[in-house]
Amino acid sequence: LESIGIENIIKHEKELIEYGQEILQKNNSVKLIGNPKKKGAVLSFTIDGIHAHDVAQVLDQYDITVRAGHHCCNPLLRSLGVNATARVSYYFYNTIEDIDRLMKGLKSAQSLLGK
């Protein structure tokens, strides 16, 4: 981490999160959950008509790992009217190509699950 530099990691994560957010918003079935001014490299989302656990299972077939569920904030999700979310996290070893693969996997999930 010291050889890469914390500032470089922060810059890279910011680029990834901005690209990921932009790409996810292009899919009308994807709803991003939350948009804080100061955010880490994490995006939580839902896909219309598809449970987050099913999304995670399909993405696993593309070697894409996401977390699915309540993420220890069930009261918040309940107040938002959301059953569960999928959550993707980025770090210095992730690339733009990883986000593009995520989108391919999400399109596959939508196709496979008839949504």
Tell me how far apart the alpha carbons of residues 109 and 83 are, in angstroms, rounded to a whole number.
18
Cβ atoms within 10 Å of 3's Cβ, excluding its own = 5
Distance of CA 58 to the CA centre of its chain: 14
Give me the phi and psi of 2, to 5 degrees please: -65, -35
* Residues annotated catalytic, as ranges: 72
Residue 62: which H helix or E strand, with range? none
Nearest CA to 113 among 69, 33, 53, 31? 53
